Structure formats: structure tokens, C-alpha cells
Amino acid sequence: MTGINHNGYTDLPAGHVAAIATFLEMRAPPAPAERSEPSDLCLERLNSPDPAAYRDMFRRVGTNWLWNSRLRLDDAALGDILGDPAVETYFPESDGTPIGILELDFRGLPSVEIAFFGLVPEAVGSGAGRWLMNRALQLAWREGVNRVWLHTCTFDHPGALGFYLRSGFVPYERKIEMVPDPRLDGTLPRDAAPHVPLILEDRG
């Protein structure tokens, strides 16, 4: 790729995919949620996350959306992140069964990143996502925090951006994200994310 065309199409290197990422932020805590808490849901913090268990949940939540960054890390690198006291990892549970992932990154204080947020496919649309976001914001907004941010992209669930806007986040930046297609090197299965067509070879 020779450069970015700012007024048209830009070729991608063979074997890569690209998405438009939207960054959103919240500068003040939202009003407390008034709805009742579901009795079947709870949030468990993983104090010493096992890399294998983490990857399993990461795949369950993110395969449909081409989540792959953490899958490319070896145990040592992933363990360094998950074991950092400024990184908090949680699995929401429904009747004792893990159904998603929430990761809060406090390493950039006074800003906090909701680094990963998502549910397994069978829990999407159940109301668990709203509950999880309410809990995420309760946990993120603590003393010394003046900003909570996250990002979503065009690979994600089509309702993700609207969900974040309704949660009170405001978009402030947009970027192009380009990565090697994780389906071509075995990081994810070939049938992952069918809404992003798989191109097997460069037709040059």
C-alpha cells in the first residue's frame, strides 16, 4: 500500500482487513439507573485470571466480531496485562454461568478505558448488556477518575454504537484500523464474522 487516499478508496495489503473505529467518551458519571437489578445476574471479578479461561471467553464473545488482539499474545504477555493491579477483569454470570466479559483499564488515570465489553451470542438481547454497562460505569467512576472512554468499530454488532450513545457516551474521534485477517492465520476459524467477507488471495 503506497498511502491513504483521503478522497476515495485505498488498497489494503493482501491478507488484511480494515474497519472504521469510533472513539467515545463520558466526562461525568451518569444518573443512577432506576431499573431493578435482575436477580439471576451477578458480576465476578477474576483476581488471578487464567490465560486459557480468559481466551476461551474472549473467543465466545468476540469471534463473531473478529476480536483477535488478545488471542495473538502468549501466556506471559497476556498474564502481564491480566495480572496488572490497574486492570480489572470481570465475567458477568447468569445463574452461575459466565456469559460475557468486562475489562476496565485504570492504567491511564484519570482516564479509564472500558477495554473489552461484550456478551456471548445467546445472551445478546436479553437485557444483560444494559445491566452490565450500568455495573461497568459504577465500577469505572471512582475517586480520581474524570473520564471514561471506549471504542467500537464497523466489525462489531450493528447495535453497538447506538447502545453506547444511549448509555451517555459522546463520540470524539474516528480512526481506520487495519490488521492481518485473523481467519487466514488460524487465530480465528474461517467461518468467523461472515459479515466481513474472507478474501483468500490477492488478485493483484
What CATH number is attached to the domain comprising 104?
3.40.630.30
69 lies in some domain: yes
Residue 134 lies in a domain: yes
The answer as to whether 101 is a domain residue is yes
Answer whether residue 49 is part of any domain: yes
Q: Count how many Cα atoms sit within 13 Å of the Cα of residue 63 in the half-sphere of its side chain.
A: 15
Domain extent at residue 52: 18-27+41-180
Nearest to 182 by CA among 17, 10, 57: 17
- Rounded to the nearest integer, the mean pLDDT of the chain is 90
CB 172 within 8 A of CB 24: yes
Distance CA 159, CA 192 (A): 18
pTM value is: 0.90
Give the CA radius of gyration of the chain. 18
DSSP assignment letter at 160: H
Predicted local distance difference test score (pLDDT) of residue 32: 77
Give the model's confidence band at 204: pLDDT under 50 very low, under 70 low, under 90 confident, else very high.
low
Cα–Cα distance between 69 and 62 in angstroms, integer?
10
106 domain-assigned? yes
- Residue 110 placed within a domain: yes
Query: Is 34 a domain residue?
Result: no
Share of the chain above pLDDT 70, in %: 94
Residue 1 confidence class, pLDDT cut points 50, 70, 90: very low
Kindly state whether residue 61 falls inside one of the protein's structural domains. yes
Total domains in the chain come to: 1
- The pLDDT tens digits of the residues spanning 129-144 come to 999 999 999 999 999 9
pLDDT at position 7: 81
Mean pLDDT (whole number) for 69-96: 93
